[in-house]
Amino acid sequence: MISARENLLNITNKLLTAGLNHGASGNCSCRDKESFLITPTGIDSSKLTTDMMVRVSLSDNASQPESKFQPSSEWQFHQAILKKYPEINAVVHTHSVFASSLSVLGQDIPAFHYMIAVAGGDSVRCAPYAMFGTKELSDNILEAIRDRKACLLSNHGLVAVGKDLNEAFNIAEEVEHLSRLFIEAKKIGEPLLLSDKQMTEVLNRFNSYGRWAKD
């Protein structure tokens, strides 16, 4: 059985291969018993190994003594999400090009395409800007992902969450694709938005049948 450290490294590599992150940008984490594992700070993702993953307490403490590496500078919002939402076991944060491009507008992505439901609602919310690594950013993200599985971070990037790392990765990848579609559509004209009723129908279908269905 693959270990949590191996799984975290695999997803980090997938983020690079998919072009969702580059260099030392972005980070990801997964719950592991009473703590969580997170990618380290300041290290090129292509150079990571399983032993570099940092264990972090779900209390107010940062890294634990077992690691000589420091956790990502964004560890605080990973901890906040995992503490507040017990159904979430993984967090993926990207600086992907199209989602990050939309984030600088500081606006939600509306229901221009039915696959917006991947993020759990009728929009992908954009959390207000706050300095990285701060409690203010954590608080903003917690509000933006309420009843959602993804959100933009204003002037920053994207956060996606899931029951495991694979789900969080898939959602991040889909939101990046949707962000690109939205940008391309805006070049042509103003996208037609689906109604609340139409999106409710989509969400109900996703909950029952789709590959993004809730457990």
Q: For the chain, what's the residue count?
A: 215
DSSP 74-114: THHHHHHHHHH-TT--EEEEE--HHHHHHHTTT--B-SSSG
Task: Give the phi and the psi of residue 150 in degrees, each rounded to 5.
Answer: -160, 155
Residue pair 102/183 in contact (Cβ under 8 Å)? The answer is yes
Match 């901890």 to its residue by tokens.
79
- Name the amino acid, one letter, at 78: H
- Name the amino acid, one letter, at 79: Q
Q: Please state, as a whole number, how many other Cβ atoms lie within 10 Å of the Cβ of residue 102.
A: 25
Round to whole Å and give the CA distance between 56 and 61.
7
What is the C-alpha R_g of the chain?
17
Q: What is the four-CA torsion angle of 164, 169, 171, 173, rounded to 10 degrees?
A: -170
**Residues annotated as catalytic (active site), given as ranges:** 74
